[in-house]
């Protein structure tokens, strides 16, 4: 059975859902129609009994089947609470001069009948009027007893509970029919929502996960079309991971193989007596090895094989800033005074809103990150700020789901658009002509930001430029994948 469910396609599911909806609709209509027919038959039977009862009360004809007529000297004494209802049967309602042909007193222990709501045709005969009255009484779940007085002052007690009482009424299945429709459609909607949620969840997982992390293999489940999509995505990720791994191996091999010639070049350069020439050659060798290491670092960051861990982001940033301070670099850390937390809606406020956490909580910013990758990204931003902005000020802003690391400097040579464009590989700004670099620093930071479900952006400030490294704090690596 499990194999059959797994092989089900969306087309088969749609056919099953439509068939079930059709069956539910037909069953509900059949139950509703039969219940209506049984109820109409009951009311018509009551009408016929009332029609025949008129002759029994006025002409002494035999009582209708199921109706008992008893003679009494007077109305009985009431032993419990009774609601009396008086009804007059007129000789002819269309006549301007009307005479009462028959007067009924209806006793019920349940309710007083709203006779005013009884609709009568002005052309109805007295027998038809009585039939309509009995039909009207039968429409209520009660046990009415009728009393009337003949011309000879004899009271007649009419008991028709076998025909028009609550026990005689058919069971009303219309509520059952409505319940079948409601719950049937609800179950179908749940099934449809569950199926569509699989696509939505996979889309969200695919969007939130790091692109080439080795452990991000999605479990293939759901309808056949979704499983084929997931398997194709897994194959694509595996292909890309293998390609990146081979690229890293090639770069590592090249870096290793070039290490020996570079060392020999350094030794031979040291023998050159011309200091100016020796200095230029050493600079070229340093730039060459730096470029190789930069490309290797970028490739490794793309592979993203580091495990995600829950760490204190504040402690990580403070330790990085302390390392720079130890060597006398102008890097400072500004502690946030508050933490913004998204609060879900409540009965009194339906919309989600942001609240501020105390300063103590703002100092404990925890996040699921790859520590080495995050350290590399923050270090690159600080190095970039020191190279082009003379000093760096680092701070952290956080919400319940994201954390933003801010690195501000005093450089203002480039615009925001130019800075955002520098996240592409091997691109450098116009102010970098005399500054060492490979053009991969911001590219590596942008790649690491995407791996942490975030972004890298820049904005101008009154004194310089602010880099904003925004990352997610939630552990999508396990939570989202497990929900597929």
**pLDDT digit string, tens, across residues 143-168:** 888 888 876 678 888 998 888 888 88
**Do 440 and 328 have their domain in common?**
yes
Domain range spanning residue 148? 15-164
**Do 248 and 365 have their domain in common?**
no
Report yes or no on 33 lying in a domain.
yes
pLDDT of 401: 84
pLDDT of 99: 56
Report the C-alpha gap between 72 and 339 in whole angstroms: 88
Report yes or no on 350 lying in a domain.
no
Report yes or no on 253 lying in a domain.
yes
Report yes or no on 417 lying in a domain.
yes
pLDDT of 81: 73
Residue that is last in its domain, among 164, 197, 217 = 164
- More confident site: 304 or 410: 410
pLDDT band of residue 181 (cuts 50, 70, 90) is very high
Q: What is the pTM of this model?
A: 0.56
**Do 284 and 267 have their domain in common?**
yes
Report the C-alpha gap between 5 and 476 in whole angstroms: 28
Task: Using alpha carbons, list the distances in angstroms from residue 186 to 23, 199, 332, 412, 426.
Answer: 14, 20, 59, 60, 57
| HEC per residue, the chain | CHHHHHCCCHHHHHHHHHHHHHHHHHHHHHHHHHHHHHHHHHHHHHHHHHHHHHHHHHHCCCCCCCCEEEEECCCCCCCCCCEEEEEEEECCCCCCCCCEEEEEEEEECCCCCCHHHCCCCCCCCHHHHHHHHHHHHHCCCCCCEEEEECCCCCEEEEECHHHHCCCCCCCCCHHHHHHHHHHHHHHHHHHHHHHHHHHHHHHHHHHHCCCCCCCCCCCCCCCHHHHHHHHHHHHHHHHHHHHHHHHHHHHHHHHHHHHHHHHHHHHHHHCCCCHHHHHHHHHHHHHHHHHHHHHHHHHHHHHCCCCCEEEEHHHHHHHHHHHHHHCCCCEEEECCCCEEEEECCCCCCCCCEEEEECHHHHCCCEEEECHHHHHHHHHHHHHHHHHHHCCEEEEEEECCCEEEEEEECCCCCCCHHHHHHCCCCCCCCHHHCCCCCCCCHHHHHHHHHHHCCCEEEEEECCCCEEEEEEEECCCHHHHHHHCC
**pLDDT digit string, tens, across residues 116-150:** 888 777 788 888 888 999 999 888 888 888 888 87
Sort 146 into a burial class: Cβ within 10 Å, 0-12 / 13-18 / 19+. buried
**Do 361 and 474 have their domain in common?**
yes
Report yes or no on 252 lying in a domain.
yes
**Do 54 and 151 have their domain in common?**
yes
Cα dihedral 475→478→483→484 (10° resolution): 120
Report yes or no on 179 lying in a domain.
no
Number of structural domains in the chain: 3
pLDDT band of residue 2 (cuts 50, 70, 90) is very low
Report yes or no on 409 lying in a domain.
yes
**Do 257 and 280 have their domain in common?**
yes
**Do 301 and 319 have their domain in common?**
no
**CATH code for the domain in which residue 268 is found:** 1.10.287.130
**pLDDT digit string, tens, across residues 431-482:** 554 455 566 778 888 888 888 888 898 888 888 888 999 998 876 544 443 3
**Do 314 and 457 have their domain in common?**
yes
Report the C-alpha gap between 314 and 405 in whole angstroms: 10
pLDDT of 261: 78
| Percent of all residues in the chain with a pLDDT value above 70, rounded to a whole number | 76
**Do 482 and 380 have their domain in common?**
yes
Report yes or no on 53 lying in a domain.
yes
pLDDT band of residue 298 (cuts 50, 70, 90) is low
Among 175-179, 245-249, 281-285, the range with the most confident prediction by mean pLDDT is: 175-179
pLDDT of 212: 43
pLDDT of 36: 93
Report the C-alpha gap between 231 and 244 in whole angstroms: 20
Q: Worst-scoring range by mean pLDDT, 16-25, 425-434, 447-456?
A: 425-434
Report the C-alpha gap between 168 and 127 in whole angstroms: 22
**CATH code for the domain in which residue 335 is found:** 3.30.565.10
**Do 448 and 317 have their domain in common?**
yes
Contact 158, 67 (CB under 8 A): yes
pLDDT band of residue 56 (cuts 50, 70, 90) is confident
pLDDT of 390: 83
Which tokens go with 224? 């056949």
**Do 215 and 128 have their domain in common?**
no
Report the C-alpha gap between 86 and 411 in whole angstroms: 98
Residue 32 makes CB contacts below 8 A (sequence gap 6+) with 173, 174, 177, 178
**pLDDT digit string, tens, across residues 334-375:** 876 555 555 555 544 545 555 555 555 556 788 888 888 889
Report the C-alpha gap between 240 and 235 in whole angstroms: 9
Report the C-alpha gap between 265 and 282 in whole angstroms: 8
Give the number of other Cβ atoms within 10 Å of residue 114's Cβ.
10
pLDDT of 255: 67
31 has a pLDDT exceeding 70: yes
The mean pLDDT value for 158-187 works out to 90
**Do 373 and 478 have their domain in common?**
yes
Among 91-100, 185-194, 238-247, 439-448, the range with the most confident prediction by mean pLDDT is: 185-194
């Amino acid at each position: 059975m499990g194999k059959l469910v797994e092989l089900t396609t969306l087309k088969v599911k749609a056919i099953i859902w439509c068939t079930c909806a059709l069956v539910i609709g037909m069953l509900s209509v059949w139950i509703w129609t039969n219940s209506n027919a049984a109820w109409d038959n009951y009311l018509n039977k009551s009408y016929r009994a009332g029609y025949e009862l008129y002759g029994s009360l006025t002409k002494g004809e035999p009582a209708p089947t199921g109706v008992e007529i008893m003679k009494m000297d007077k109305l009985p004494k009431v032993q419990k609470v009774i609601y009396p209802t008086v009804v007059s049967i007129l000789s002819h309602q269309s006549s301007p001069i009307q005479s009462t042909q028959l007067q009924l007193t209806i006793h019920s222990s349940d309710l007083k009948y709203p006779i005013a709501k009884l609709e009568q045709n002005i052309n109805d005969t007295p027998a038809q009027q009585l039939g309509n009255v009995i039909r009207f009484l039968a429409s209520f779940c009660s046990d009415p007893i009728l009393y009337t007085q003949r011309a000879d002052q004899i009271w007649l007690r009419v008991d028709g509970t076998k025909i028009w009482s609550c026990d005689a009424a058919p069971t009303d299945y219309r509520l059952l029919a409505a319940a079948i429709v409601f719950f049937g459609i609800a179950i179908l909607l749940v099934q449809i929502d569950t199926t569509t949620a699989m696509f939505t969840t996979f889309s969200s997982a695919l969007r939130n996960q790091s692109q080439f992390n080795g452990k991000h293999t999605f479990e293939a489940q759901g309808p056949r079309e979704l499983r084929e999509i997931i398997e194709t995505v897994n194959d694509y990720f595996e292909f890309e991971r293998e390609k990146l791994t081979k690229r890293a191996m090639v770069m590592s091999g090249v870096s290793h193989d070039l290490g020996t010639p570079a060392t020999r070049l350094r030794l031979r350069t040291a023998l050159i007596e011309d200091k100016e020439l020796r200095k230029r050659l050493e600079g070229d060798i340093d730039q060459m090895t730096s470029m190789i290491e930069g490309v290797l670092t970028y490739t490794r960051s793309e592979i993203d094989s580091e495990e995600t861990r829950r760490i204190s982001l504040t402690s990580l940033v403070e330790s990085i800033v302390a390392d720079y301070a130890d060597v006398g670099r102008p890097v400072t850390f500004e502690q946030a005074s508050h933490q913004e937390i998204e609060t879900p809606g409540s009965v009194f406020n339906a919309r989600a809103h942001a609240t501020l956490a105390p300063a103590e909580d703002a100092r404990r910013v925890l996040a699921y990150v790859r520590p080495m990758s995050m350290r590399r990204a923050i270090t690159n931003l600080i190095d970039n700020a020191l190279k082009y902005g003379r000093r760096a000020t680092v701070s952290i802003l956080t919400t319940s789901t994201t954390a933003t690391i801010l690195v501000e400097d005093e450089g203002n040579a480039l615009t925001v658009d130019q800075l955002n464009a520098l996240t592409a590989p091997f691109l450098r700004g116009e102010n970098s002509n005399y500054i060492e670099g490979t053009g991969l620093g911001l590219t590596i930071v942008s790649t690491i930001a995407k791996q942490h479900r975030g972004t890298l952006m820049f904005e101008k400030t009154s004194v310089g430029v602010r880099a904003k490294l925004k990352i997610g704090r939630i552990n999508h690596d396990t939570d989202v994948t497990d929900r597929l």
